[in-house]
C-alpha cells in the first residue's frame, strides 16, 4: 500500500492497466484450456483499450473495444463453444520448452529495452483538437492515397464475398468441383 501512496494517481492507473495486460497475456500464452485463453484475451484486449483511453487516444480505444473485444473475441468464443467435440482436442502450449521461450524472449527484449532507454524521445505539447479530428485530418491530407487504396481493396473484398455467397445460394457448381 505504501508503494501506491508514493505514486501519483495517474501512474497508479497506468501500472494497474499495464499489469492487467501482462497478467492476461500470460494467461493467454500459458493456459492449457483454449476457453480460458480466450477469456484471458478479453482481459488483455480490455487492458490495452484502457491504456489507449488513459493516454488520450479515445478513438483508438473505442475502436479497440468495438472491433477486437466486441467482434473478434466474440467470434473466437463462438467458434470455440460451437465446435463439436472440442474436449477431444488436446492443444497445449507446453510443447515449447520453457528455457527456449525464455531465451527467445531475452533475445527479443534486450534490444527493445536498449532502444527504449537510449532513444531521444520527443516530448510534445498536448493539443486541444480531439483525436478523431487529428485522425480525420491525417487521413484526408498526408495519408489520402493510402486511405483510398485501403477503401478500394476493402470494396473489392466485399464484392468478391458477395459473388461467392451468391454462387453458394444459387447452388452453382464451381469449375473445380466439375473436374473432380
Residue 133 or 128, more confident: 133
Q: Is the pLDDT of residue 91 over 80?
A: no
Q: Are 147 and 136 in contact (CB under 8 A)?
A: no
The pLDDT assigned to 60 comes to 87
**Helical packing angle, 34-54 and 74-82, nearest 10°:** 170
For residue 63, give the nearest of 48, 42, 78 by alpha carbon.
Answer: 48
The yes or no reply on domain 1-85 and CATH 3.10.520.10 is: no
The pLDDT assigned to 118 comes to 92
Element spanning 114, H or E: helix 98-118
Residues 6+ apart with CB under 8 A from 11: none
The pLDDT assigned to 114 comes to 92
For 70-75, what is the mean pLDDT? 84
Q: For the chain, what are the domain ranges?
A: 1-85, 129-180
Q: Work out the mean pLDDT of the chain and round it to a whole number.
A: 80
Q: Is the pLDDT of residue 179 over 60?
A: no
Q: Is 124 helix (H, G, I), strand (E, B) or coil?
A: coil
Amino acid at each position: 500500500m505504501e508503494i501506491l501512496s508514493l505514486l501519483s494517481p495517474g501512474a497508479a492507473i497506468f501500472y494497474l492497466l499495464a499489469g492487467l495486460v501482462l497478467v492476461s497475456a500470460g494467461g493467454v500464452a500459458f493456459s492449457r484450456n483454449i476457453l480460458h485463453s480466450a477469456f484471458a484475451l478479453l482481459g488483455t484486449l480490455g487492458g490495452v483499450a484502457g491504456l489507449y483511453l488513459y493516454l488520450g487516444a479515445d478513438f483508438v480505444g473505442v475502436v479497440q473495444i468495438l472491433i477486437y473485444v466486441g467482434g473478434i473475441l466474440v467470434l473466437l468464443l463462438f467458434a470455440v463453444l460451437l465446435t463439436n467435440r472440442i474436449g477431444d482436442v488436446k492443444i497445449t502450449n507446453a510443447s515449447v520448452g520453457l528455457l527456449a521461450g525464455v531465451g527467445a524472449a531475452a533475445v527479443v527484449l534486450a534490444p527493445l529495452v536498449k532502444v527504449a532507454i537510449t532513444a531521444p524521445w520527443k516530448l510534445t505539447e498536448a493539443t486541444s483538437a480531439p483525436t478523431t479530428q487529428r485522425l480525420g485530418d491525417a487521413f484526408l491530407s498526408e495519408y489520402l492515397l493510402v486511405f483510398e487504396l485501403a477503401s478500394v481493396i476493402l470494396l473489392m473484398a466485399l464484392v468478391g464475398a458477395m459473388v461467392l455467397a451468391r454462387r453458394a445460394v444459387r447452388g452453382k457448381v464451381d469449375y473445380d468441383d466439375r473436374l473432380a
